[in-house]
Amino acid sequence: MKVVLFCGGMGMRLREYSESIPKPMVDIGYRPVLWHVMKYYAHFGHKDFILCLGWKADVIKQYFLEYDECASNDFVLSGDDKSVDLLASDIHDWRITFVDTGATKCIGERLKAVEPYLEGEQTFLANYTDGLCDVHLPNLIDLHERRNSVATFLSVQPTQSFHTVVTEPEGSVSRIDSVKDSDLWINAGFFVLDQSVFSYMRNGEELVEQPFRRLIEAEKLSSLRHEGFFACMDTFKEKQLLDDMYARSETPWELWKNESRRTDSGAVEEPEDRLARDVSELADEVGQRVGLNEVNSAPSLQTT
């Protein structure tokens, strides 16, 4: 499937970090958050990207035109000419379409702008490009197909530390709860969309507002609740938290590195659980072989 990535926003809440680069180009470790999101989709085999560019579009274009594979891959440096032999590669099999969708457009307008590049795509993926997650992507796609939806998105519980308040008309407070203890779920910005979504959109509309309300009325909107890892990089504080996680090698969103720890259902498997499963499977295999040998060694009965 093609993957539409919205990369045109200014990231006003991150401008204290830098005013010289667009929000998707803010680094986490060696690579920008945009790269981490693309790598996530590529891990599941979706490597045909459409970048909806806007503010500082030239920065994103130049990054990929001058892409340095050595920054995140092992390599061998040899000879007087310092020739480089890569031991791995990130983007050699990616296809990236760069589309300038305007500096001040909303998400819905950016999506409409790339509609011609999605011709023939019955279903495609889309992402806000500011959140990192460890959701097993096929589960989101399966829900979309099973419910025959026009749009499906991932929902997560808020990670911010604020409280929800319930007040009576006269002003007395009847309830106050941490948002983490509430049943509040928010849009995580991971979408599966059908081509027919464009028929629910009007010029100038934000994707998740009027078009999604129309889909709700048509019972064509679905959402998958994800209780695993999710982090959004909206503020400088959130960037610092992700930087700290990267420095400690605690990067649950890097599924391409954690593949050996993931089960068929998409859940992360802890080492002790994996060991127990391996031992159980080995015992089953040994039992089957012993049973087979007993059958083969049993005396045969002949009748005359």
The string of DSSP letters for 231-284 reads EE--SHHHHHHHHHHHHTT--TT-TTTSGGGB-TTS-B--HHHHHHHHHHHHHH
Q: Does pLDDT of 135 surpass 70?
A: yes
Q: 110 or 75: which carries more pLDDT confidence?
A: 110
Instruction: Please state, in angstroms and as integers, the Cα–Cα distance from residue 170 to each residue in 50, 76, 149, following that order.
Output: 52, 72, 43
- 301 in a domain, yes or no? no
Residue 286 lies in a domain: no
Mean pLDDT of 209-237: 94
Q: Is the pLDDT of residue 70 over 60?
A: yes
Specify the amino acid at residue 44.
F
How crowded is the C-beta side of 195, counted as CA atoms within 13 Å? 10
Whole-prediction pTM:
0.80
Give the CATH number for residue 157: 3.90.550.10
Judged against a pLDDT cut of 50, whether residue 271 lies above it is answered with no
- Strands 83-86 vs 48-53: parallel, antiparallel or unpaired: unpaired
What mean pLDDT do residues 155-165 have? Answer: 83
Q: Each residue of 190-216: b (16+ CB within 10 Å) or e?
A: bbbbbeebeebbeeebebbeebbebbe
Q: Does residue 74 register a pLDDT over 90?
A: no
Residue matched to tokens 């941490």: 178
Q: Mean per-residue pLDDT for 221-249? A: 92
Is residue 94 assigned to a domain? yes
Domain assignment present for 298: no
Range of the domain at 13: 2-268
Looking at the domain assignment, is residue 295 inside a domain? no
User: Domain for residue 300, yes or no?
Assistant: no
Distance in angstroms (rounded) separating the CA atoms of residues 42 and 36 = 10
Whether the CB-CB separation of 152 and 140 falls below 8 Å is answered with yes
What does the pLDDT read at residue 223? Answer: 97
**Pairwise pLDDT comparison (86 vs 47), residue with the higher score:** 47
Please indicate, yes or no, if residue 56 is contained in any of the structural domains.
Answer: yes
Of 5, 70, 9, 15, nearest in space to 36 by CA: 5
Number of structural domains found in the chain? 1
Residue 45 has pLDDT above 90, yes or no: yes
- Evaluate whether residue 54 is within a structural domain: yes
Stretch 196-216: mean pLDDT: 96
